Amino acid sequence: MAYWSIIGTAKSGTPKNFGITLDTVAETWTVGGPAAARLFKSKSGKFDFHVLPTIGTTLVNAGGKIVARLDGLTATSAIGATGSGHQEETAEFFDWKLDSK
């Protein structure tokens, strides 16, 4: 299995830090950490790398609704890559960093 670890930092509120794990084989995601409960109503689901309407990654919950977007995160992103994102369920903005893969 191939797991990617993403460190997230909310742009407002406290706590700010959370982590997202992507399983690139099963194409699933999970979230945890201090800010996860505040920022994410859904804690897991499927994800998709996409190029339209913008380049990035979309996290989707079990019901098929978009949970969050990680702008600029692609299948070829290198460790250390950074970008911004938006949590759709709570309308929060965050920064992300690809920590490992």
Q: Which domain holds residue 53?
A: 3-100
Give residue 1's pLDDT.
57
Whole-Å CA distances, 15 to 50, 63, 78, 99: 29, 27, 27, 20
pLDDT digits (tens, 9 = 90+) for 12-25: 988 899 999 999 99
pLDDT tens, position by position, 63-99: 999 999 999 999 999 999 999 999 999 999 999 999 9
C-alpha 35 chain-centroid distance: 13
pLDDT, residue 51, reads 82
Residue-wise pLDDT tens digits, 23-69: 999 999 999 999 999 999 999 999 999 887 789 999 999 999 999 99
Which of 25-34's residues contact partners 24+ apart within 8 Å by CB, and which partners?
A: 25/1, 26/1, 29/59, 33/8
Residue 101 per-residue DSSP state? -
Q: How many domains does the chain have?
A: 1
- Tell me how far apart the terminal alpha carbons of the chain are, to the nearest angstrom: 10
